[in-house]
Amino acid sequence: MVAVSGALMAAGLALVAAQGAAALAGISTTEGFVGEGDVLEASSELEAGATGVYAVVSDGVLEAVLEGPSTYEEVTSEGGAEEFFEVAESGTYTITVSGGADRVQAMAAIGEAPGDSRYLGTAAGLVLASGMAMLAFIGARVMIRRRQLR
């Protein structure tokens, strides 16, 4: 019984890891330092009709430009920005990040918005909870048997 409970908990943890990997599968990231004259770029191939997402995270003020076949958008951010956008035309979409006078660490990411992976998360939670409940049941049963032997 303990082995079954352990196997259920291990399976639940594996499902949690799979959910995380599925959510980030289509996201391209890059990180580094940007300052005056420095540029950081991340690109991704996106299909028409999809929902794209880009994110910029930094310690300071940055300017970011989203470019695609029919898209051009400028964003100024302090600390970070995340935006969803509709992909009107298939092609390569690029987020370009440039810094100001101060050199700061930044991260840029772009890709197709993660799909609906909540079912995988729900399954992972249920499998993990059932394994822990089984382990608690086994522990309670052992304690009851020990009291009966006294």
pLDDT digits (tens, 9 = 90+) for 47-90: 888 888 888 888 777 888 888 887 788 877 777 788 888 888 88
Three-class secondary structure of residue 137 per DSSP: helix
Provide the pLDDT for residue 117: 55
Q: Chain-wide mean pLDDT for the chain?
A: 81
Q: Which residue has the higher pLDDT, 68 or 123?
A: 68
Where exactly are the structural domains of the chain? 1-25+115-150, 27-113
Average pLDDT over residues 10-34: 75
In CATH, the number for domain 27-113 is 2.60.120.380
Residue 22: band (very low, low, confident or very high) from pLDDT cuts 50, 70, 90: low
Q: Tokens at residue 8, please?
A: 């259920």
Provide the pLDDT for residue 24: 63
Largest CA distance in the chain: 79
Provide the pLDDT for residue 58: 82
**Side-chain-side CA neighbours of residue 143 (13 Å):** 6
What gap in Å lies between CA 132 and CA 139, rounded to an integer? 11
CA-to-CA separations, 92 to 45, 69, 71, 117, in angstroms, rounded: 4, 7, 11, 25
Provide the pLDDT for residue 116: 58
What letter would DSSP give residue 62? E
What gap in Å lies between CA 12 and CA 19, rounded to an integer? 11
Residue 123: band (very low, low, confident or very high) from pLDDT cuts 50, 70, 90: confident
Provide the pLDDT for residue 115: 66
Residue 119: band (very low, low, confident or very high) from pLDDT cuts 50, 70, 90: low
